[in-house]
Amino acid sequence: MSDSTLNTIVEMTRTLGQPGLNYVIIGEGNTSCRIDEDSFWIKASGRGMSNIQPDGFVAVRLAPVLELLESSLSGQAVGDAVKAALVDPAVTAKPSVEATFHAALLADCGVSCIAHTHPVAVNQILCSSRAEQFAANRMFPDEVVLCGPRSVFVPYADPGLPLARAIRQRARAYIEAEGESPKVILMANHGLIALGQTPVDALNITAMCVKAAAIFAGACAVGEPVFMSPQDVAHIYRRPDEIYRRNMFL
């Protein structure tokens, strides 16, 4: 099991947890990172991000967690099943309750790192009637470059299996429509998921989405947001120089 992978996710998680960023407080949020084809690291339940240590993560086998998405289990039985999927059964820490959606996205979206946070700037929109509007549109070029042509929007669902199934359904629909995986998933009344090829990628997507949320809220305060046209969004996203620049950020 790679110590470098664990150290990388620890560093990414601590960065996300910096108090001044207002991405998470107390035990909010979780992160994951692939170890190999069969397993992934995920933050343990109840651990704060800002000062997390390597023992704040647990290694989980991917296949048994994915099987849960097709099961009829509920409640504590789901938590017990995820705990049973630990690579090392002797570990006492419990994987996050949201391990199921991390497993689904790692399996379906071809990404290596996932950052789930509850930024104040984003959640003030996701807890409003404008949440879906924010997800569906883009306002400036760098938002397109880093966050993709649009975000996946997921209506509120109970954390755990119901949420994981809803996220998987919406992410798969996006992949079918766009021909590639999403970079941002926005969950109503809940928070943000950034899907990255690397930890730096996940951090950059998170930061840009938070910036976009602040701009959106400001635009709403002084009038109405002016969105880029679908044609301009597609043009920016597919420009060779912007693709080159996006790859430099990984």
Q: What does pTM read for this prediction?
A: 0.96
Segment 14-44, tens digit of pLDDT = 999 999 999 999 999 999 999 999 999 999 9
Is the predicted pLDDT of residue 2 greater than 80, yes or no? no
Which of 116-120, 143-147, 164-168, 246-250 is predicted least confidently?
246-250
pLDDT-based confidence at 73, cuts 50/70/90?
confident
Give the mean pLDDT of 52-74: 94
- Mean residue pLDDT of the chain comes to 95
pLDDT at 1: 47
pLDDT at 97: 85
DSSP annotation of 94 reads P
Per the CB < 8 A criterion, the answer to whether 184 and 145 are in contact is no
Domains, the chain, in order of start with CATH, read: 3-248 (3.40.225.10)
Q: What are phi and psi of 40, to 5 degrees?
A: -150, 155
pLDDT at 30: 96
Of 59, 73, 1, 15, the C-alpha closest to 198 is 15
Segment 160-190, tens digit of pLDDT = 999 999 999 999 999 999 999 999 999 999 9
